[in-house]
Amino acid sequence: MGCCESSFLTATQPEKVQQQQQQHGHQPPFNHPPLSTSSSSAPPRGGPTSTFDCNGTPPFSEYSLSDLKAATNNFSSDFIVSESGDKAPNLVFKGRLQNRRWIAVKKFTKMAWPDPKQFAEEAGGVGKLRNPRLANLIGYCCDGDERLLVAEYMPNDTLAKHLFHWENQTIEWAMRLRVALYIAEALDYCSSKDRTLYHDLNGYRVLFDEDGDPRLSCFGLMKNSRDGKSYSTNLAYTPPEYLRNGRVTSESVIFSFGTILLDLLSGKHIPPSHALDMIRGKNILLLMDSHLDGKFSTEEATVVVDLASQCLQNEPRERPNLKKLVDTLAPLQTKADVPSYVILGIPKHEEAPSTPQRPLSPMGEACQRMDLTAIHQILVTTHYRDDEGTNELSFQEWTQQMRDMLEARKRGDFAFRDKDFKAAIDCYSQFIDVGTMVSPTVYARRSLCYLLCDQPDAALRDAMQAQCVYPDWPTSFYMQAVALSKLEMHKDAADMLNEAAGLEEKRQRFGR
């Protein structure tokens, strides 16, 4: 299915959109309230509709429970990605929104956060963070007893899985140094934004993104919920001060970072006290991971061992600060110009659209070439032919407001024909905002205008709206394909192009 089955339903006249879908024999997938257009400080609903940042990360949003159920196949056990499987206290699922974006959804046990306001505020605070070193939090859901967090999905597993669970594959030394630096940088960034506490930092919280870059999970930045009985499931790795007074401090995070360094050095989960005994005994080589087969710099390893020893000091005040961690690890990066996926030994993330599986029409070919001029000419020539049947107006609807609205559309058509795309956006927006008529062609035309004005996120939104009005219209899928390509979501763009071609093939087969 296509993009419009996300939480993005039309903000103007949603009941009109539902009526049009029923005329075409389609029922709307979800029954959401319209998106708010107010300037409230509450996060927007349905993150995919909002502007992406420079890293392609959507802003923090509130998601509906129905969206997240659909994304995770009703929280199917097949979608669980928690390292402990369905035995984890708070399950993490992978999911895919209807705009094709992959997400990770953390589902807390029932009433883990009794106060929904506290949960929303805490999630909102973490959701303000945006950094390429983080698996960023992009949303949350509070619905009845449900408390869910939505984050960017990292497809290449955790540090713990790479180090502890794959006997025949090891992480080379350069990547281990990169992991140490990137996580130190992530913690330093969070600290600069007054998020100094990170709960239970360990190898399962370090994730690898689609390009193989290590990132720190945002979930550990949330305060422990009511059912969080302890800092760690294993007391041997718990900061000493937490055992004494039950409090997590910024120095506790440094201690936990020291355990990450031990994991990277040894490839095993060694209790800190045991590792410190080995370090004091000058048994550094015994500490090193045998899977490295000696392929590491002894000088660099000595620096990392010394840094781990400092982080694991019993007295919090004797541990280094985050700046020292970054400053110590940065000079050790000897392969800074080599992409992470190369060092990690994973396939390169696909950047080019795959070849469509079906023959394409002139519109499809123009979209595949990203030829916006050709798309413009096709939309001008097609005019409003595909809008037939999408609006049946009663006599009472032909008011002065109606005439004014049609005049705005007419002015938009003239501006569109004359390639005055900013004016066309303004005129078409006047037509859409009235909401008496719903035109998929207007949405498609305004989508192209946005593309030509370098606003691909707005273009994707309009293409999704066109599909909501006319669910089987190939043009709406084609326009989504172009917008997704502009957003560098190339695999999804290729999928959308194939879907559009399939709809055109179906049209031709039934002579529509």
Q: Which residues are catalytic?
A: 200
Residue with tokens 């370098």, as numbered in its chain:
454
Residue with tokens 């919920």, as numbered in its chain:
225
Q: Which distant-in-sequence residues (6+ apart) come within 8 Å of 340 by Cβ?
A: 175, 178, 208, 211, 212, 213, 214
Alpha helices in 347-438 (DSSP H): 362-369, 372-382, 400-417, 421-434
DSSP 71: H
Nearest to 458 by CA among 447, 471, 469: 447
The tokens for 137 are 């939090």
How far from the centroid of its chain's Cα atoms is residue 501's Cα? 27
Q: Is residue 477 within 8 Å of 464, Cβ to Cβ? A: no
Q: Is residue 232 within 8 Å of 201, Cβ to Cβ? A: no
Nearest to 373 by CA among 448, 316, 288: 448
* Residue 84 to residue 95: CA distance in whole angstroms: 18
Phi, psi of 296 (to 5 degrees): -155, 160
Residue with tokens 């669910």, as numbered in its chain:
471
Q: How buried is 511 (Cβ within 10 angstroms: 0-12 exposed, 13-18 middle, 19+ buried)?
A: exposed
Phi, psi of 139 (to 5 degrees): 180, 180
Report the DSSP pairing between strands 146-152 and 102-107: antiparallel
Q: Is residue 494 within 8 Å of 480, Cβ to Cβ? A: no
